[in-house]
Amino acid sequence: MNARQLALLALQKIERQNAYADLVLGHLLANSSLIPADRHLVSELVYGITRRRRTLDALIDCFAQRPAHKQPPDLRLILHLGLYQLAFLDQIPASAAIHTSVELARQMGLGSLTGVVNGILRAYQRQVLDQPEKDPLKPLRDARQTAARSPIQTLGILHSFPDWLVSLWWERLGPVETEQLCAWFNQPPHLDLRVNPLRADVNKVIQALAAAGIPALPISEVPGALRLQDHAGDITALPGFAQGWWSVQDASAQQVVHCLDPQPGERVIDCCAAPGGKTTQIAQHMQDRGEIWALDRHPHRLRRLEENAHRLGLTSIRSLAIDLLPLSAAADRVSGTESLPPAPLPPWQSADRVLLDAPCSGLGTLHRHADARWRQTPERIPELAHLQAQLLQVAARWLKPGGVLVYATCTLHPAENEEIIQAFLDSHPHWAAEGDPLLIWPHRQDRDGFFIQRLRRYG
């Protein structure tokens, strides 16, 4: 298969099987003999089209005789491929994008519809690309188009997000910042590193990467964090990976452990630990001295944590496969954790610090997961919030008086963040928030969206 054929196959699997884009793409590329440039094109097409699905459908609506949702499924995907190349990939000549899309239609047995593909794509080329301003989304900004839509719908179409998400951000940020946030989420994700101070320092890693032709810059607000300026390819082949000098971790995620601030010799519990980015950072922060319990309900993901810890040379981490939800059953029946008995399974009495990086909707990391904007729904948020509240109840039981608990998520939804914390504090009089929560907005700080709240137990 060539690159576009493979991309079409991936898109078909994603749509027909409701499969995750990264899993489908990873499997297909692993079994492909494409050269690196073509593999990169496949990734760009699959992830880009998955993100921009709503925008591409709207463009089809502008140029086709029947709307996108009434097109034959394979024809719709081929039009997505052609329009995405024309609208968003400047390096591909329009003639190549059109010709290869027509050929795809022929190869898929849609010979009678090749004229439709050619006509729609050439109409887009004439009316958009051949015009002086060359605005790729000009047809969607047309006054007749926008007059029939609300401002929320217009932003959702232009930036390819569901209306409920645009509305959520609009209420908190207003129209200008909402558009900035939408645009930010449509950019390729950054690649940040966390330097392992037990084996290297920031300057050593910067110099090693520079010698390999990969510039990296420190992130001033986050100690030990670096951002690669230009890299594509196998991360494990970079200087220092095998030696355990660094790990891949977004700067926002690194701030969670800085807020926890674990100290050498302490006992720390990481409640939802796998695959271990924050767990290994805790160990590094503690100079690998102390007792760190990494908990997760998925044993196979804990094995990845153990592999990472071994590569980084860390010995203070102990992993335990445990489902925390059964432990929350009593917490649901009793008001306040202080009256509950100690949890029966974990082999400790209490901890100096506890981290709960809770499972969440991931609305702060939509740029990293192309299909996440379509998978999450408003109905899913209350389910996640209930889960998060249960996990917080359990995590709180293991903290000794005077200890610190950090609650964190990579979402921007208040029902999973501020409302969880407020409900917990309302029912736990011996707890208090230490300082205001840290809410990281991606378009303001140019990194993943995160919520981080530090809590202290006083009784």
Residues classed as catalytic? 410
Give the ranges where 138-262 is alpha helix by DSSP (H).
138-141, 143-147, 151-159, 163-185, 202-211, 251-260
DSSP strands (E only) in 183-228: 192-195, 216-218, 225-228
Angle (CA) 250-246-321 rounded to 5° is 75
Cα 414 to Cα 363: distance, rounded to the nearest angstrom = 11
CA-to-CA distance for 438 and 427, rounded, in angstroms? Answer: 22
Rounded distance between C-alpha atoms, residue 284 and residue 264, angstroms: 9
Phi and psi of 92, rounded to 5°? -100, 120
CA dist., res. 76 & res. 16, Å (int): 13
* Contact status, residue 43 vs residue 11, Cβ threshold 8 Å: no
Helix 418-426 × helix 380-397 angle, to 10°: 50
Token pair recorded at residue 306: 């153990």
Are 309 and 280 contacting, i.e. CB atoms less than 8 angstroms apart? yes
Give how far Cα 338 sits from Cα of 120, 293, 296, Å: 66, 22, 24
Quick one: tokens of 189? 């994700």
| Bridge partners, residue 431, by sequence | 457
Residue 146 Cα distances to 68, 139, 316, angstroms: 18, 10, 59
Q: Which stretches within 31-113 are classed as H helix?
A: 36-51, 53-63, 73-88, 94-107
Half-sphere exposure of 120 (CA within 13 A, CB side): 30
Output the six-digit token pair for 93.
């000549």
